[in-house]
Amino acid sequence: MIHGALVARRRIAGVLMAAGTLAILAGAHDLLLVRMGLFGGAYYTLTAHAMFFFVMILAGLVVERYSRTVADYSALNASLAARIDERETQLRGAFETVRQQQQEQAVLLERQRIMREIHDGVGSQLVGLLNVVTQPAPDRVVVEEHVKLALDEMRMAVDSLQPTHDDLPTVLATLRYRLQPRLDAAGIELVWDVAVIPPMAPFAAQAALQLQRILLEAFTNVLKHASATRIVMHANWHGEETPPLVRIVLTDNGRGLPAVPDTARPPGHGISNMRARAQSIGAKLRIETANEQTGGTRVLLDWPCVLA
């Protein structure tokens, strides 16, 4: 304590040294003068008064130490709060950066999808149209058919941008709206029988577009080859199946599937494309004769879906 007071110049050590010195002097006074009666003796003791001041000094030191500790904890809490605020600011900035990157990635993926759809859909039809018009005597009917198909592809690509990817009846109704003028012009009656379908989990725009393309190919085949006067469109929910699915059935009263393949006409890729598109969305496609006596063709599509 003496070293701390005299050498290190610590205030607390100096105060304790002074209090201890007073206590020692008071004890020596009581021992020598009061108890032993030396130096003329004395009748009053000083130890109790010295200890009172000593205890008061100790209490003051405890209060000071406590106050300093509280101040240190307050400063530490303030420092921690400042660091937490700084980290929260950094996290918010990082989250905002990630969110912007995700938005940019989503926009980029959507642009790539649109470019791919335009290339595979409208582009292929325009290439076919170019091959037709560069012939010496292009067939007007074929040219018109390619133009209509290119327009249908473009319209479906535009429709796929609409936020209706959790509403299958709206997707089907949009396709009906696009095809109704062509059916009316060909004199074909369309019977629309789409049952109430429970709310479905959102599906990708690519899936909606592939579904529309499958049905568009089916309608186009009826318009081009079936000589039909009536098309019936059924769509309903089969929740008892495993897994649950939406069943879409397109039936016409045309000439039906040929019993013997027509070797005079080069084979097309329409049906194979329909099967590939159905496989890409996890659906099963069947094309069969509607009625053995009356003919006609039935296109049946089973698409497993998840309810919302």
| Average pLDDT along the chain | 80
pLDDT at 265 over 50: no
State the Cα–Cα distance between residues 31 and 27, nearest whole angstrom.
6
How much is the pLDDT for 259? 62
What's the pLDDT score for residue 200? Answer: 76
Going by C-alpha positions, the residue among 114, 115, 118 that lies closest to residue 127 is 118
In this prediction, residues 293-304 reach a mean pLDDT of 88
Greater confidence (264 vs 202) lies with: 202
Which residues 6+ apart lie within 8 Å of 220 measured at CB? 149, 270
| Highest-confidence segment of 46-55, 67-76, 234-243 | 67-76
Query: In this predicted model, what pLDDT tens digit does every residue of 116-131 receive, in sequence order?
Result: 667 666 777 777 777 7
Is residue 54 a contact partner of residue 23, using CB atoms and an 8 Å limit? yes
More confident residue, 104 or 190: 190
Backbone angles phi, psi at 188, to 5 degrees: -105, 125
**Mean pLDDT, rounded, for 72-84:** 93
Where is pLDDT greater, at 194 or 41? 194
Mean pLDDT within 242-258: 87
Would the pLDDT of 88 be above 90? yes
pLDDT score of 299: 94
For residue range 215-241, list pLDDT tens digits in order.
988 988 888 888 889 999 999 988 887
For the four alpha carbons of 75, 77, 79 and 82, in that order, the dihedral sign comes to: negative
Report d(CA 104, CA 107) in Å as an integer.
5
pLDDT score recorded for residue 191: 93
Mean pLDDT of 46-68: 80
pLDDT (mean) for 145-155: 75
Residue 249 above 90 pLDDT? Answer: yes
More reliable by pLDDT, 256 or 73: 73
